[in-house]
Amino acid sequence: MTSDPGVRVHVRDLGLACCAVEFTAAVARGLLTPAQDTDEPARAHVLVVSGTVTDALHDDIRATWEAIPEPRFAVAFGACATSGGPYWDSYAVTSGIGDVLPAEHYVPGCPPRPEALVAALVESVALR
Amino acid sequence: MTAPNPAPPGAQLGDWVAGVTELVDAGFDYLDLLTVVDWPDAGEFEVVIHLVNGDAQGVFAHTRIDREAPVLDSLVGILPAANWHERELAEMFGVTMTGHPEPTRLLLADSPVAHPLRKDVPLPRRQDRPWPGAKPEPGRRSRRTPRPHGAPDQPDRDG
Amino acid sequence: MQNTHGAIALDASACTSCMLCVRECPDWCIEIDSHTVEVTEPGARRPRSVAVLDRFTIDWGLCMYCGICVEVCPFDALRWTGDTDYSAAEVDDLRHGVERLEQFGTSSD
């Protein structure tokens, strides 16, 4: 999925909870467009972690991450992926994706708007 | 949380299995909900069930068991769907489900946490993190210790 | 864009450090430090205590945008804005103090 006419970034959603709906909305609104096989190679591969990270999912999340080609980076989308959010004190929740993957950008919101995702993608790519 | 529930849902069943069987035989054979409410001051768990019939009408029923040694007869024989519900109650509250065919942990299989939904089990992160609201307003000595919302009798309250 | 579920702005001049927002926040994401000073006004019989806000931070990494703080503030010091573009490369940069909190809802776009 591309995000900006000047830079092509391949974006994948790790839809763990409700924030995934906002990712879907970004696609539905045309803020992100589905990738085509004929696309030129992406400048980077982004894993957008959308939703609550539970302790039980760590192995699966890391396996997903390992399967993504380089250069890659992870973005925490929403409060749960950033810090655990409303479930910060739960016995089953990890305090954000940063404990599992090298997250490079954090988008606040519960959930963040689709526009916030695109703004964060543009900013995080520009920072690299 | 100082008194048992004054309005527990549905009828209180003396014989848990017989009472639920009666409801199932009356057509309420779809298991919608099976859960426990922890009443620590009363020393008991309130087990609540909600069953639905073919016309989408629901009925509640409940029973009370001792909190220190909570034991309940399994409903799996009459409601196979109760299998997972009961495994969850066992791991979340520590209820022994007598006669359950597969009494292993369901959601917390790899977790060191024991019985996290009991009200006297503290949440470790709440203990580690000082509550920003514990400070009194400036210039005032607090007459009453302010407390955070959440499980009311957690031992993590500083104050 | 609707003005809810975006950033919550602070009007520090209205804040009296009453601590209500801090106590009501379900995520514990607001922190306040304050102290009192004595103010003597000409003609007054005795000095009165005035609260001075030293620090007001919201941790956007935790905030779930429930709006309880906005509703509970007796002085309307907190308000919703439609601002959404404040993501950060570090989690710590999502903790905003008075200066940043006063900036929300002020830009024209």
Domains by residue range for chain C, with CATH: 8-85+93-101 (3.30.70.3270)
The answer to whether C60 contacts chain A (CB < 8 Å) is: yes
Collect all residues of chain B within an 8 Å Cβ-Cβ radius of residue C18.
Answer: 137
Helical segments of chain C, H only: 20-24, 68-72, 98-103
Q: What is the model's pLDDT at position B17?
A: 96
Query: How far, in Å, CA of B135 to CA of B106, rounded?
Result: 41
Collect all residues of chain B within an 8 Å Cβ-Cβ radius of residue A56.
Answer: 107, 110-111
Angle between helices A114-127 and A19-28 (to 10 degrees): 90
Residue B159, pLDDT above cutoff 50: no
**Binary contact (A96, C62; C-beta < 8 A):** no
Percent of chain C with pLDDT over 90: 72
- Residues B64, B26: contact at Cβ < 8 Å? no
Q: What is the model's pLDDT at position B23?
A: 96
Confidence of residue B151 (pLDDT cuts 50, 70, 90): low
Collect all residues of chain A within an 8 Å Cβ-Cβ radius of residue C104.
Answer: none
Q: What is the model's pLDDT at position B142?
A: 62
- Residues C80, C58: contact at Cβ < 8 Å? no
Helical segments of C8-97, H only: 20-24, 68-72
Which structure tokens are listed for A57? Answer: 């999912």
**Binary contact (C89, A104; C-beta < 8 A):** yes
Residue C14, CA distances (Å) to A91, B111, C8 in order: 38, 47, 15
The answer to whether C33 contacts chain A (CB < 8 Å) is: no
Mean pLDDT of chain B: 87
* Neighbouring subunits of B (3+ Cβ pairs under 8 A): A, C
**Binary contact (C35, B139; C-beta < 8 A):** yes
Query: How far, in Å, CA of C103 to CA of A40, rounded?
Result: 40
- φ, ψ at C59 (rounded to 5°): -95, 100
The minimum CA-CA distance between B51 and chain C, rounded to whole Å, is 33
Residue B46, pLDDT above cutoff 90: yes
Query: How far, in Å, CA of B141 to CA of B136, rounded?
Result: 7
**Binary contact (A91, B116; C-beta < 8 A):** yes
Q: What is the model's pLDDT at position B137?
A: 78
| Domains of chain A as residue ranges with CATH | 1-34+42-49+61-113 (3.40.50.12280)
Determine the number of helices (DSSP H) and then strands (DSSP E) in chain B: 3, 6
Q: What is the model's pLDDT at position B91?
A: 94
For residues A79-90, b (16+ Cβ closer than 10 Å) or e, as one string?
bbbbbbbbbbbb
The minimum CA-CA distance between A87 and chain C, rounded to whole Å, is 8
Query: How far, in Å, CA of B127 to CA of B158, rounded?
Result: 9
Considering only the beta carbons, identify the residue of A79, A104, A127 that sits closest to C62: A79
Q: How many CB pairs under 8 A join A and B?
A: 23
Residue B148, pLDDT above cutoff 50: yes
Q: Which residues of chain A have pLDDT under 70?
A: 1-6, 38
Query: Token pair 């790790």 is at which residue?
Result: A14
**Binary contact (B123, A95; C-beta < 8 A):** no
Closest CA to B86 of B30, B46, B36: B36
Query: Kind of pairing, strands B71-73 and B96-98?
Result: parallel
Asked if residue B70 has a cis previous peptide bond (ω within 30° of 0), the answer is no
Query: How far, in Å, CA of B26 to CA of B19, rounded?
Result: 11
Collect all residues of chain B within an 8 Å Cβ-Cβ radius of residue C25.
Answer: 133
For residue B69, the 8-state DSSP code is S
Q: What is the model's pLDDT at position C103?
A: 94
Instruction: Select the residue from C84, C93, C101, C107 to test the A interface by mutation, using most A Cβ atoms within 10 A.
Output: C84
Residue B145, pLDDT above cutoff 50: yes
Collect all residues of chain C within an 8 Å Cβ-Cβ radius of residue A84.
Answer: 62
Which structure tokens are listed for B59? Answer: 């009925």
Closest CA to B137 of C22, C98, C96: C22
The minimum CA-CA distance between C37 and chain B, rounded to whole Å, is 9
Q: What is the model's pLDDT at position B157?
A: 42
Residue C66, pLDDT above cutoff 90: yes
**Binary contact (B132, C34; C-beta < 8 A):** no
Cα within 13 Å of Cα(B49), Cβ side: 28
Structure confidence by residue, pLDDT tens digits, A19-51? 999 999 999 999 998 887 767 778 889 999 999
Query: How far, in Å, CA of C59 to CA of B129, rounded?
Result: 14
Query: How far, in Å, CA of B151 to CA of B118, rounded?
Result: 10
Collect all residues of chain A within an 8 Å Cβ-Cβ radius of residue B150.
Answer: 89
Q: Which of B12-21, B44-53, B81-90, B120-129 has the lowest mean pLDDT?
A: B120-129
